[in-house]
Chain A
Amino acid sequence: MLKFEHVSKKYKGGKTAVSNLNLEFKKGEFIVFIGPSGCGKTTTMKMINRLIEPTEGKIFINDEDIMEKDPVKLRREIGYVIQQIGLFPHMTIQENISLVLKLLKWPEEKRKKRAEELLSLVDMTPDYLERYPHELSGGQQQRIGVLRALAADQPLILMDEPFGALDPITRDALQDEFKNLQKKLDKTIVFVTHDMDEALKLADRIVILRDGQLVQCGTPDEILREPADEFVEEFIGKERLVQAKPNITTVEQIMNAHPVTITSDEQLSNAITVMKTNRVDSLLVIDQEGVLEGYIDVEAIDQNRKKAKDVADILIPDTFSVYKDALVRDTIRQILKKGLKYVPVVDEKRHLVGIVTRTSLVDIVYDSIWGDEELERAQ
């Protein structure tokens, strides 16, 4: 969808804003450019719609070299939202929203319909259409700013710190709203910010830039898990790295690797002994190769003691399990939602490799409360 090939931008004074950038993005991706001020993130973004032209290299949109397209036509196919919102004060909300459509020479009636339709996307009533921008709050204005960029159903939208000037509560609401909108409409978004929280919240892929150079490009999880260098670490912030731990640690890292198990061909009496010695009320059942088959618990044994002889007879097969590289974050959610006492952990071939119990969760909580101190002590 969007490709940068050896893109550089040098200004006349010899200052290099962006140097030798190579990136490629898929359709529907939410891409966030982030970095300290002056790192070239806005320049990079503006090169996409040729508000700034690259001095070297090529940028492709859907395999078309943008330098070979008419800039006016190109820009009409790309949505654009800026921090200062930039609504035209002398036009009504409707005129503002449908301006690109007017440039594309849509008939008046269709424009009005489209404006109404868009307004409903952000839960605003059609009576806003006749108002002027200064009658709206900042948050509402930026909603209109976003709608304006969606008006002609452009597949690609550029956003330059669109929520930077809003108060934290409005910003948060708009971020959620916008992320939902993006998923629903399947747009490719290039988003510039210097706010790491915003980037982590919104991005499918984060591109970290410094002094016009690419430092790291990856999903938020990848960046939190493996920051490329000290600069990235510092930019993310220690606090966030610690906080993010449950978000990026995998089940494998926290699980108990020695679950109490029994093979399915054992006798029930053995199972009871195992339970007793290990002081547990249920056992995970595996076969000879260690593949998880299900579980048995005290209740089942109690009910079927007279009839059943083998573990296999009272085995409850449909056990909920997670893969060892699943995120702890998701696992916790499922444990809490389903009210489970434990979750067995398996590898790709369903070999039982461990277990996550509520005790493991308690350990995480301890870690995140007192982990900081340990971290400091370790340093």
Chain B
Amino acid sequence: MDVFSDLITYFTNNGSYVWEQFFRHFLMSAYGVLFAAIVGIPVGILIARYSRLSSVVLSLANVIQTIPALAMLAVLMLVMGLGTNTVVFALFLYSLLPIIKNTYTGIRNVDHTLIESGKAMGMTKWQILRMVEIPLSLSVIMAGLRTALVITIGIATIGTFIGAGGLGDIIMRGTNAQDGTAIILAGAIPTAFMAVIADVLMGWLERSLMPVKKKKQDSNEQEEVTA
């Protein structure tokens, strides 16, 4: 159990450092996803409207997704230089596909009869989007953000190669040190932990945004009370 006690020692000695990197790592991922959401959601809505654009945009986003992370960082580094911004931009690019795709699917899957009845009631296009399409596809869009966040948390670890910091720094340090298993774990475990927590939290958020809320239990309870 040497490794385990080493790990504990590392955490106790470098607690604030690990926390700092943890936080930095999270912010990089979050910013990447945030910017991707700002761009991706409107693009997704747009291509759901003009389906001719959809194949072009989606295949472009697909191509970005296939580029190996290290290669992407290297290429971006040539243009943008070293540092956090380059990593955030890379994460932004990787987040685009899940966000655009889910927004597109979500909007496309809104029951057509609902859109028609909205239209027939005299909603403007904007009102249909705001009052019908977005609320009904919100949980699918959230699922996209969730996927994107989990992906970026993983990719952000290699940000260390271009000096962006984050938990990747700790892992790198471990690989460079002799007997660095404990240090590698000290970086890897929080990364995995962050990804799992992000997944769980976003999953919860996604469910709470489901358009059809399960209120059945409430009403059953009410009936029991009145009975």
Contacts and interface: CB of A to CB of B under 8 A. Distances in A.
28 contacts: A49-B120, A72-B123, A75-B119, A76-B122, A78-B120, A80-B117, A80-B120, A80-B121, A86-B113, A86-B114, A86-B116, A88-B118, A88-B136, A89-B211, A90-B136, A90-B211, A90-B213, A99-B121, A100-B122, A103-B122, A103-B123, A103-B127, A131-B215, A131-B219, A132-B212, A134-B212, A148-B121, A158-B120
Given A75-B119, A89-B212, A134-B212, 12 more contacts: A76-B121, A80-B117, A80-B121, A82-B120, A88-B118, A89-B211, A90-B135, A100-B121, A103-B123, A135-B215, A135-B219, A158-B120
B59 interface: no
B121 A75 contact: yes
Nearest to B210: A90
Max chain A C-beta neighbours (<10 A), residue from B120, B123, B124: B120
A84 interface: yes
Contacts of A308: none
Interface in A43-99: 49, 51, 72-78, 80, 82, 84, 86, 88-90, 99
Nearest to B120: A80
Contacts of A80: 117, 120-121
B144 to A, nearest CB: 19
A72 B132 contact: no
A135 B216 contact: yes
Interface in B83-138: 111, 113-114, 116-124, 127, 131-132, 135-136
Contacts of B113: 82, 84, 86
Report, as a range, how many residues of chain B touch the other chain. Answer: 20 to 34
Given A90-B212, A132-B213, A82 B121 contact: no
A224 B52 CA distance: 51
Contacts of B116: 51, 82, 86
Interface of B: 111, 113-114, 116-124, 127, 131-132, 135-136, 211-213, 215-216, 219
A77 B121 CA distance: 8
Contacts of B132: 88
A132 B213 CA distance: 8
Max chain B C-beta neighbours (<10 A), residue from A76, A80, A88, A134: A88
A75 B120 contact: yes
Contacts of A74: 122
Main SS class of interface, A: mixed
Q: Which 4 residue pairs spanning A and B have beta carbons closest together? A: A76-B122, A86-B117, A75-B122, A90-B211
A92 to B, nearest CB: 9
A135 B124 CA distance: 29
A75 B124 CA distance: 10
B211 A72 contact: no
A77 B132 CA distance: 20
Contacts of A51: 116, 119-120
Contacts of B131: 88, 99
B59 to A, nearest CB: 29
A72 B127 CA distance: 11
A131 B213 CA distance: 10
Nearest to B127: A103
A100 B111 CA distance: 19
A73 B136 contact: no
Contacts of A90: 135-136, 211-213
Nearest to A73: B122
A74 B124 CA distance: 12
Contacts of B111: 84, 86
Contacts of B219: 131, 135
Contacts of B136: 88-90
A53 B136 CA distance: 28
B133 to A, nearest CB: 11
A134 B124 CA distance: 26
Nearest to B211: A90
Contact of B117 (A82, A132, A135): A82
B148 to A, nearest CB: 24
Interface string A97-123: 001100100000000000000000000
Contact of A103 (B114, B117, B121): B121
Contacts of A103: 121-123, 127
Contacts of A75: 119-122
A262 to B, nearest CB: 67
A72 B121 CA distance: 8
A105 to B, nearest CB: 12
B140 to A, nearest CB: 13
A74 B135 CA distance: 26
A99 B216 CA distance: 23
Contacts of A135: 215-216, 219
Nearest to A71: B122
A53 B117 CA distance: 17
Contacts of B127: 103
B217 to A, nearest CB: 11
A243 B120 CA distance: 39
Contacts of A132: 212-213, 215
A49 B120 CA distance: 7
